[in-house]
Amino acid sequence: MLLKCELLCVARSTVYYKPKSPQNIDIIMLNWIRDIYQKYRFYGYRRILAELRKNGFEVNHKRLQRLLSVAGVKTIPTKQQLFEQFKLLNKPILSEASLIYK
């Protein structure tokens, strides 16, 4: 096997690698995530995590974020969040030169 891998310029680890199939709990959790997302499109990962934990799932926030990206879930920002972003973008930039000449 070593000689074959060297001839093909392939690492042996790629030959022996077998990808894992998705777990049943992930599929069940994805269905719950989609249900929560359809009810509350403005929920972020923290609120979705709280809803899942309230329904009896023990899930890590990193695993939830991975599942959200797999499902293609993007939250819709609220008006308040949009306004905060607008205020940050339109904030005047103060430099040392502008402070000196005032």
Q: What is the pLDDT of residues 6-57, one digit of tens each?
A: 888 889 888 888 887 778 888 899 999 999 999 988 888 999 999 999 999 9
At 65-95, the pLDDT tens digits run 999 998 888 877 777 877 777 777 776 666 6
At 1-19, the pLDDT tens digits run 888 888 888 898 888 888 8
For the chain, how far is it from start to end, CA to CA, in angstroms?
75
Give me the residue label for tokens 């990962």: 45
Q: What is the pLDDT of residue 49?
A: 94
Residue 101, token pair as written in the block: 């000449």
